[in-house]
A and B are shown apart, each in its own frame.
Chain A
């Protein structure tokens, strides 16, 4: 459901503005609107920050950025409750005190933490670079061992793709042209893809030889600066030694960072949050209106929080600050921010609704319906005991271990989806396809998803689709009645009647209803088409019947609930039969296991996407009024 909102105006003595903003930020239940957007700017000048406040803001913003960069390096050393208490204590300080303390902290830890972070980055870069060089040099090393070291001679190592090894003949020929016979080129295939070559030539010819490599687009192996000039064997030994040292150096750096974090991490986090909040308060001042002695703030808030706001303001700012409600006009209804407030089991589905767009304020919130139908559709598609159990298990593990809110919400959705998959698994008698029937004689409680009962499965999917689409139309009709939109009402009512008439006629053709009902069925269809055609004007005669065909395709679209489930069942069957035909039991089990895992992965992804799609395209289009702006209250940034 959508939280009932109200527009408020807060008026008070200017001296109490800071206390008011602090109380509102702490409560976190009001979204401030720019007073100019409210339409009072003509009579009420906007407030602006004085010179001192502007100077403080210019100090705060860079400090927040610097503290943010430290916070990325230094995690807070204490747990969340202690951090909150520390934040409460710090937030009582004046802005000047906060700025001074932040400057002191930045001065104390800035150089050391940055130096440590830089050293850590350098060590990791060196480790990556040396590992790369080591792999390359190992390929060339056997070749280099064959070539004696000569004073006055330089060595260049080349690595060439094996299929292009013929280029070495060209290099040999060009070298002969440039420096005669005074060089040695030795090459060897070092692996399936690479040919290594070593060229030894007089040092005085270095420039000409390197120019030749440049012309022929050959890149000799370049060693790091500090290793240049050493022999390949020495270089490899030095690299191995350095690679053994680097992890110890990295551990030392991390240890020092941990010590720094233990001493300063919490201060950095708390000060950053407190200063961010002060900065946000200053931004809000720019949105307020006022006179010489008073200020006026305009905003939106949930109606249920009004009492709390009045109490908080009275406690912190006294009786010189008043809160009043502003009547919201019809035009302004489009600007009302939207906050969803559903029961805990439904709440995880709110983000799935918001993926398309939030509902417009005053419109119907489809979240509870989505929480009911989406897992049902998912379960009908996946419908397997083993898959349902695995999904439930994974979701429970994520809920236990993960703190990330997005993953937790997804896991909560998947708990319901897993439950329905398990339930449909029992109804269809499926455990990894038909394996359950073979292993422990699992019997379907309702019907098998194969063989003769497949027609019933299709009929069930279509019936579910028809019910879903008709429910969408019923909600749409109710919405149109509520806002007194006659044309929309006529269109939705027409579609609703036409769809019922189509099913009526199908039932007559199938022999479920008596043939005598054909004429009333056709008459109902004509009434429906006529009603839905009215808003289309003269085009209605053509578009009305086309729209009716569209309705049929809307319902047929629900066939996917059966079709995708069937493909999942048959993929499981392929896995089971592969195990049966494999000569080696272990290989058969591995292949079948991999196929079942693939089937589960495809099943989860496609069942989610298809269930969402049926809601977004087939269901929401019948009633959903989107376009609401999210409610963004002015609140503390939090630690």
Chain B
């Protein structure tokens, strides 16, 4: 494995890892606010679930980029 391949692999890891961190941070903030709101209005469960799930797109996009890099690696290798 040459250094370029290694760097691409690190890039793929960073793409999904950093996106996951961002998602976790956003979900943490939304989750704590949502839990507070739910104690007062349990009927908001569905809406809060949607808001909680919104940042997950970030990690999915990160995953898409990582998958593209890995597929590029395989095609090149």
**A612→B49 CA distance, assembly (Å):** 9
Nearest B residue to A615, CB-CB: B50
Contact flags (1/0) for B5-22 with A, using CB distance below 8 Å? Answer: 000000000000000000
**A355→B47 CA distance, assembly (Å):** 8
Contact B61 A455 (CB under 8 A): no
Chain A, 427-454, CB within 8 A of any chain B CB: 454
Least distance between A627 CB and chain B CB atoms (Å): 12
Q: A455-B71, A458-B67, A617-B54 are in contact. Are A556 and B49 (CB under 8 A)?
A: no
B60 on the A face (CB < 8 A): yes
**A617→B46 CA distance, assembly (Å):** 11
Contact A617 B53 (CB under 8 A): yes
Which residue of A355, A455, A458, A613 is within 8 Å of B56 (Cβ)? A613
Chain A, 610-631, CB within 8 A of any chain B CB: 610, 612-613, 616-617
Contact A355 B61 (CB under 8 A): no
Nearest A residue to B61, CB-CB: A556
Nearest A residue to B47, CB-CB: A356
Nearest B residue to A552, CB-CB: B61
Contact A616 B53 (CB under 8 A): yes
Contact A609 B53 (CB under 8 A): yes
Q: Chain B residues with Cβ under 8 A from A616's Cβ?
A: 46, 49-50, 53
Query: Which of A191-199, A306-314, A557-565 contacts the other chain?
Result: A557-565
B45 on the A face (CB < 8 A): yes
Nearest A residue to B66, CB-CB: A563
Q: How many of chain B's residues have a CB under 8 angstroms from any CB in A?
A: 15
Nearest B residue to A458, CB-CB: B67
Q: Chain B residues with Cβ under 8 A from A559's Cβ?
A: 60, 63-64, 67
Least distance between A221 CB and chain B CB atoms (Å): 37
**A3→B59 CA distance, assembly (Å):** 41
Least distance between A565 CB and chain B CB atoms (Å): 12
Contact B64 A355 (CB under 8 A): no
Contact B53 A613 (CB under 8 A): yes
A335 on the B face (CB < 8 A): no
Contact B50 A560 (CB under 8 A): no
Least distance between B43 CB and chain A CB atoms (Å): 9
Least distance between A558 CB and chain B CB atoms (Å): 9
Contact B60 A613 (CB under 8 A): no
A176 on the B face (CB < 8 A): no
**A613→B27 CA distance, assembly (Å):** 14
Tell me the dominant secondary structure on chain A's binding face. Answer: helix
B32 on the A face (CB < 8 A): no
A210 on the B face (CB < 8 A): no
Q: A356-B46, A613-B50 are in contact. Are A560 and B56 (CB under 8 A)?
A: yes
Interface size class of A (residues with CB under 8 A): 10 to 19
Contact A609 B60 (CB under 8 A): no
**A10→B47 CA distance, assembly (Å):** 38
Nearest B residue to A455, CB-CB: B71
Nearest A residue to B67, CB-CB: A458
Q: Chain A residues with Cβ under 8 A from B46's Cβ?
A: 354-357, 616
Nearest B residue to A452, CB-CB: B74
Contact B57 A609 (CB under 8 A): no
**A553→B64 CA distance, assembly (Å):** 11
Least distance between A200 CB and chain B CB atoms (Å): 51
Contact B60 A557 (CB under 8 A): yes
**A617→B57 CA distance, assembly (Å):** 11
**A556→B57 CA distance, assembly (Å):** 8
**A455→B72 CA distance, assembly (Å):** 11
Nearest B residue to A561, CB-CB: B60
**A46→B45 CA distance, assembly (Å):** 38
Q: Chain B residues with Cβ under 8 A from A617's Cβ?
A: 50, 53-54
**A356→B71 CA distance, assembly (Å):** 38
Contact B60 A556 (CB under 8 A): yes
Q: Chain A residues with Cβ under 8 A from B67's Cβ?
A: 454, 458, 559
Contact B50 A556 (CB under 8 A): no
**A233→B9 CA distance, assembly (Å):** 70
Contact B71 A556 (CB under 8 A): no
**A556→B66 CA distance, assembly (Å):** 13
Contact A355 B60 (CB under 8 A): no
Least distance between A464 CB and chain B CB atoms (Å): 14
Least distance between B27 CB and chain A CB atoms (Å): 12
Q: Chain A residues with Cβ under 8 A from B60's Cβ?
A: 556-557, 559-560, 563
Nearest A residue to B16, CB-CB: A563
Least distance between A616 CB and chain B CB atoms (Å): 5
Q: Chain B residues with Cβ under 8 A from A613's Cβ?
A: 49-50, 53, 56
Chain A, 545-578, CB within 8 A of any chain B CB: 553, 556-557, 559-560, 563
**A563→B46 CA distance, assembly (Å):** 24
Contact B61 A553 (CB under 8 A): yes
Q: Chain A residues with Cβ under 8 A from B54's Cβ?
A: 617
Contact flags (1/0) for A492-508 with B, using CB distance below 8 Å? Answer: 00000000000000000
Q: Chain B residues with Cβ under 8 A from A553's Cβ?
A: 57, 61
Chain A, 350-396, CB within 8 A of any chain B CB: 354-357
Contact A356 B50 (CB under 8 A): yes
**A58→B48 CA distance, assembly (Å):** 41
Contact flags (1/0) for B33-77 with A, using CB distance below 8 Å? Answer: 000000000000111011001101100110110010001000000
Contact B64 A556 (CB under 8 A): yes
Contact A563 B63 (CB under 8 A): yes
Q: Chain A residues with Cβ under 8 A from B53's Cβ?
A: 609-610, 613, 616-617
Which residue of B49, B57, B71 is within 8 Å of A557 (Cβ)? B57
**A355→B45 CA distance, assembly (Å):** 7
Q: Chain A residues with Cβ under 8 A from B56's Cβ?
A: 560, 610, 613
Least distance between A624 CB and chain B CB atoms (Å): 12
Nearest B residue to A553, CB-CB: B57
Q: Chain B residues with Cβ under 8 A from A354's Cβ?
A: 46
**A578→B45 CA distance, assembly (Å):** 39
List 12 extra interface pairs beyond A559-B60, A616-B46, CB under 8 A.
A355-B45, A356-B47, A455-B71, A556-B60, A559-B64, A560-B60, A563-B60, A563-B63, A609-B49, A610-B53, A612-B49, A613-B49
Interface CB pairs A-B, < 8 A, 13: A355-B49, A356-B50, A357-B46, A357-B47, A454-B67, A455-B71, A458-B67, A556-B57, A556-B64, A609-B49, A613-B50, A616-B46, A617-B50
Q: Which 9 A-B pairs have the closest CB atoms?
A: A355-B46, A356-B46, A613-B53, A616-B50, A563-B63, A560-B60, A557-B57, A559-B60, A559-B64
B residues sitting closer than 8 Å to A (CB atoms) are: 45-47, 49-50, 53-54, 56-57, 60-61, 63-64, 67, 71
